[in-house]
Structure 1
């Protein structure tokens, strides 16, 4: 592998690793039961990793996660 290509790969790897380390996270807690929720909302809770009430998960903050939280905002809360 040429030295210039190797240094580029190392640079990109370091940049990617630093970005992953500084990603903000959100703690989400399920505060209401999934009983009576629509099937889409139940699947969203499953995708978030919330299976039971009063369970908390920590996820990386991104647009898709915020959309899922918005979909089930009446069942979950965001904890600081």
Structure 2
């Protein structure tokens, strides 16, 4: 399954509750923190509600280890 690398680029302070909760649900804890998540409808919904706080890019795992 495809994966996405999600990075928080702005603070959640001063934003509405759904955006704050979406960022936290993705596993992000601070600015410039990145996580790799599975690409699913639920994750896309979290990203959509907080697009102004996040950057998203495709992620390809290297299986060389």
Which structure is larger by alpha-carbon Rg, 1 or 2?
A: 1
Query: Could you tell me which residue of structure 2 aligns to residue 56 of structure 1?
Result: 34
Show structure 1 runs of 5+ residues with no match.
Answer: 1-22
Show structure 2 runs of 5+ residues with no match.
Answer: 59-65
TM-score scaled to structure 1, two decimals? 0.68
TM-score scaled to structure 2, two decimals? 0.83
Q: Which has the higher contact order (CA 8 A, sep 6+)?
A: 2
Q: What per-residue deviation string (whole Å, max 9, x for no partner) do you get for residues 24-68 of structure 1?
A: 100000011111111121111110001100000000001111111
How far apart, in 1, do the equivalents of 2:43 and 2:27 lie? 12
Quote how far apart the aligned CAs of 1:79 are: 2.5
Aligned residues between the structures: 58
Moved over 4 A (4+): none
Is the aligned partner of 1:33 residue 2:8? no
Q: Please state which structure has a larger fraction of its residues in helix.
A: 1
How far apart, in 1, do the equivalents of 2:46 and 2:24 lie? 11
Query: Could you tell me which residue of structure 1 aligns to residue 62 of structure 2?
Result: none
Query: Could you tell me which residue of structure 2 aligns to residue 7 of structure 1?
Result: none
